[in-house]
Amino acid sequence: MSRAPSSIGHEHLLNRELSWLEFNQRVLEEALDPSTPLLERVKFFCIFSANLDEFFETRVAGLKQQIQSAVDERSPDGLTADETYQAIHRKVRLLVARQYACWRGELLPALAKNGICFPGFKELSEPDLAWVDTFYRTQARPVLTPLGLDPAHPFPKLLNKSLNTIVHLEITEGGQRRLRLAVVQVPRVLPRLVKLPRADSRQQQYLFMGELIAHYLAELFPGAAILGCWHFRVTRNDELYADEEAAATLLNAVEAEWRARRKGEAVRLEVEHGCPLEIRTLLLENLGLVEEDLFVLDGPLNPVRLMAVVEGDHSPERHDPPFVAPVAAALREEPDMFAAIRRADVLLHHPYENFSSVVDFLRQASADPKVLAIKQTLYRTGGDVQIVSALMDAVRNGKQVTAVVELKGRSDESGDILWARRLEEAGVHVVYGLVNCKVHAKMCLVVRKDDDAIRRYLHLSTGNYNTVNAHLYEDLGLLTCRPAFGEDATNLFNLLTGICQFPGTKKLVVAPFELQAKILALIRRETLHALQELPARIIAKMNALEDPLIIDALCEAAQAGVRIDLIVRGVCCLRPQVEGLSQNITVRSIVDRFLEHSRIFYFENACQQEVWVGSADWTPVHCLRRIEVLFPIEDGNLRERIRSRILEAMLCDNVKARFLQSSGAYTRPHLSRGVALRRSQSELLQAAAARAESEPSRAKTKAKYPRLKLAPSPFAAQRK
Q: How many angstroms separate the CA atoms of 139 and 214, rounded?
A: 15
pLDDT tens-digit map of 319-367 = 999 888 999 999 988 889 999 999 999 999 999 999 999 999 999 999 9
Closest by CA position to 534, among listed 612, 604, 610:
604
Considering the candidates 215, 231, 440, 529, report the single residue annotated as catalytic.
440
E strands within 132-265? 146-149, 163-173, 176-185, 193-195, 204-208, 225-236
Q: Are 132 and 151 in contact (CB under 8 A)?
A: no
The DSSP 8-state label assigned to residue 574 in this structure reads B
The Cβ of residue 388 has, within 10 Å, a number of other Cβ atoms equal to 22
pLDDT tens-digit map of 641-667 = 999 999 999 999 999 999 999 999 999
Helix 515-531 / helix 548-560 crossing angle, nearest 10 deg: 10
Bond prior to 154 in cis (omega within 30° of 0):
no
Supply the pLDDT for residue 284: 97
pLDDT tens-digit map of 523-561 = 999 999 999 999 999 999 999 999 999 999 999 999 999
Task: Count Cβ atoms within 10 A of the Cβ of residue 267 and give its class: 0-12 exposed, 13-18 middle, 19 or more buried.
Answer: buried
Please confirm, yes or no, whether 440 is among the known catalytic residues: yes
Supply the pLDDT for residue 692: 76
Strand-pair partners of 400: 373
Strand order across the 146-149 sheet: 146-149, 176-185, 163-173, 225-236, 266-272, 294-297
Largest Cα–Cα separation, the chain? 95
pLDDT tens-digit map of 671-696 = 888 899 999 999 999 999 888 776 65
Q: How many angstroms separate the CA atoms of 47 and 27, rounded?
A: 7
pLDDT tens-digit map of 51-79 = 999 999 999 999 998 888 877 778 888 89
Supply the pLDDT for residue 236: 95
pLDDT band at 707 (very low <50, low <70, confident <90, very high): very low
Closest by CA position to 318, among listed 330, 306, 309, 326:
309
Closest by CA position to 459, among listed 473, 448, 445:
445
Identify the CATH class of 511-669: alpha beta
Domain ranges of the chain: 98-318, 329-506, 511-669
The DSSP 8-state label assigned to residue 186 in this structure reads P
Q: Give backbone dihedrals phi and psi of 269, rounded to 5 degrees, phi first.
A: -125, 125
Q: How many angstroms separate the CA atoms of 716 and 372, rounded?
A: 58
The second-level CATH assignment, the architecture, of 98-318 is: 2-Layer Sandwich (3.30)
Q: How many angstroms separate the CA atoms of 521 and 529, rounded?
A: 12
Q: Are 424 and 413 in contact (CB under 8 A)?
A: no
Q: Are 127 and 56 in contact (CB under 8 A)?
A: no
Q: How does DSSP assign 292-306, residue by residue? A: GGEEEESS-S-GGGG
CATH, range 329-506: 3.30.870.10
Does the pLDDT of residue 713 top 50, yes or no? no
What is the average pLDDT value for the chain, to the nearest integer?
89
Q: How many angstroms separate the CA atoms of 365 and 458, rounded?
A: 11
Q: How many angstroms separate the CA atoms of 201 and 353, rounded?
A: 33
557-579 burial code (b ≥16 CB/10 A, e <16): bbbbebbbbbbbbbbbbbbbbbe
pLDDT tens-digit map of 485-500 = 999 999 999 999 987 8
Q: Give backbone dihedrals phi and psi of 467, rounded to 5 degrees, phi first.
A: -70, -25
329-506 and 511-669 agree in CATH topology: yes
- Reported as type and span, the H/E element at residue 346 is strand 346-350
Q: Are 4 and 274 in contact (CB under 8 A)?
A: no
